[in-house]
Amino acid sequence: MDLKPIHTGQCHCGAVKFTVNLPNGLEKLRRCDCSMCRRKGAIVASVTLSNLTITAGEEVLRLYQFNTHTAKHYFCSNCGIYTHHQRRSDPTEFGINVGCLDSINPYELGEVPVSDGVNHPADRQS
């Protein structure tokens, strides 16, 4: 796997391009079983908000929100590929679709933990 500290990524059609700073590699790799993630099936890694920069196609990105409308899910309006989201669990981070990173094959990552999004920590009563 060719993982540089500054890595590029894009949606399927190439309209949305981004750079991501990965000083510690791919962090917090996970899948999620919430209703949204079950359907998109992406492997996600986390970066702080300042470590992701959209370099092209910001105008074609679309926002989708559901349930509490806290998480912000972004996808390309041309090809429909989910590129990243601002996390509900930690709004100071983006979750990035590892499958959108150039030269990364998510199927080579081995076993990836599944987060319990159905029983989201923010939904639990204290």
36 falls in which pLDDT band (50, 70, 90)? confident
- Per-residue pLDDT tens for 81-121? 999 999 998 999 999 999 999 989 998 988 887 776 666 66
Any idea which residue has 């081995």 for tokens?
110
Closest of 33, 27, 31 to residue 46, by C-alpha: 27
- Per-residue pLDDT tens for 50-93? 999 999 999 999 999 998 898 999 999 999 999 999 999 899 99
Structural domains of the chain sorted by starting position, each given as residue range(s) with its CATH number in brackets: 6-100 (2.170.150.70)
CA distance 84 to 116: 19
Question: How many other C-beta atoms lie within 10 A of the C-beta of residue 48?
Answer: 13
Rg of the chain on CA atoms, in Å: 14
Per the prediction, the chain carries an average pLDDT of: 90
pLDDT for 1: 64
Any idea which residue has 């991501």 for tokens?
20
Evaluate if residue 37 carries a pLDDT over 90: no
CA distance 34 to 118: 5
* Single-letter code of the amino acid located at 102: D
- Per-residue pLDDT tens for 14-33? 999 999 999 999 999 999 88
